[in-house]
Amino acid sequence: MESSILESIGVDIIGVMSPVSICMLLVVFLVYSLSPSSPFSSSSTPLRTAANLVYLETPSDSAAQKLEGALLNALVFVILIALVTFLLVVLYYYNFTNFLKNYMRFSAFFVLATMGGSIFLSIIQQFSIPIDSITCFLLLFNFTVVGVLSVFSGGIPILFRQAYMVSLGIIVAAWFAKLPEWTTWVLLVALAVYDLVAVLAPGGPLKLLVELASNRDDELPALVYEARPTVLGNTENRGSSLGVLVGGVSDSGSVELQAVQRDNLNQTEGGNRSDSEYTAVEVLRFRDEDESGRDEGESSPLVGYSREKYSPSSEIVGIFNDCSCCI
Partner 1 sequence: MTVAAGIGYALLALGPSLSLFVSVISKKPFLILTVLSSTLLWLTSLIVLSALWRGFLPLKSTSWWPYGLLIFTSVAFQEGLRVFVWKGYMRLEDILNTFADKVSKPRLYLTDKMQIALAGGLGHGVAHAVFFCLSLLTPAFGPATFFVDRCSQIPFFLVSAIIALAFVTIHTFSMVIAFSGYAEGNKVDQFFVPVVHLVAGMVTLINFASGGCVIGIPLLYFIAILTLIHCGRMVWRRLIGNGRTQGNL
Q: Point out which residues bind partner 1 (CB under 8 A).
A: 1-7, 9-11, 13-15
Closest to partner 1 by CB, 13 vs 326, is 13
Residue 160: in which H helix or E strand, if any?
A: helix 158-176
Closest to partner 1 by CB, 11 vs 193, is 11
Residue 307: in which H helix or E strand, if any?
A: strand 302-309
Nearest distance from C-beta of residue 173 to partner 1, angstroms = 20
Nearest distance from C-beta of residue 21 to partner 1, angstroms = 9
Closest to partner 1 by CB, 9 vs 83, is 9
Closest to partner 1 by CB, 9 vs 79, is 9
Closest to partner 1 by CB, 3 vs 43, is 3
Instruction: Give whole-number Cα distances, 163 to 131, 159, 202, in Å.
Output: 24, 6, 33
User: Which has the closest alpha carbon to 170: 23, 12, 8, 317?
Assistant: 23
Nearest distance from C-beta of residue 226 to partner 1, angstroms = 17
CB atoms within 10 A of CB 70: 26
Nearest distance from C-beta of residue 135 to partner 1, angstroms = 25
Nearest distance from C-beta of residue 33 to partner 1, angstroms = 10
Nearest distance from C-beta of residue 13 to partner 1, angstroms = 7
| CA–CA distance, 210 with 299 (Å, rounded to integer) | 6
CB atoms within 10 A of CB 282: 15
Backbone angles phi, psi at 92, to 5 degrees: -65, -40
CB atoms within 10 A of CB 97: 14
Evaluate whether 322 touches 261 at the Cβ level (below 8 Å).
no
Closest to partner 1 by CB, 14 vs 326, is 14
Burial label, 152 (beta-carbon count in 10 A; 0-12, 13-18, 19+):
buried
Nearest distance from C-beta of residue 6 to partner 1, angstroms = 5
Closest to partner 1 by CB, 7 vs 269, is 7
Backbone angles phi, psi at 266, to 5 degrees: -120, 105
| CA–CA distance, 73 with 88 (Å, rounded to integer) | 23
Nearest distance from C-beta of residue 305 to partner 1, angstroms = 16
Nearest distance from C-beta of residue 119 to partner 1, angstroms = 20
The C-alpha angle 119, 123, 128, rounded to 5 degrees, equals 150
**Cα atoms in the 13 Å half-sphere on the side-chain side of 94:** 7
Evaluate whether 239 touches 314 at the Cβ level (below 8 Å).
yes
Closest to partner 1 by CB, 13 vs 196, is 13
| CA–CA distance, 261 with 296 (Å, rounded to integer) | 34
Buried b (16+ CB within 10 A) or exposed e, 292-312: bbbebbbbbbbbbbbebebee
Closest to partner 1 by CB, 146 vs 163, is 163
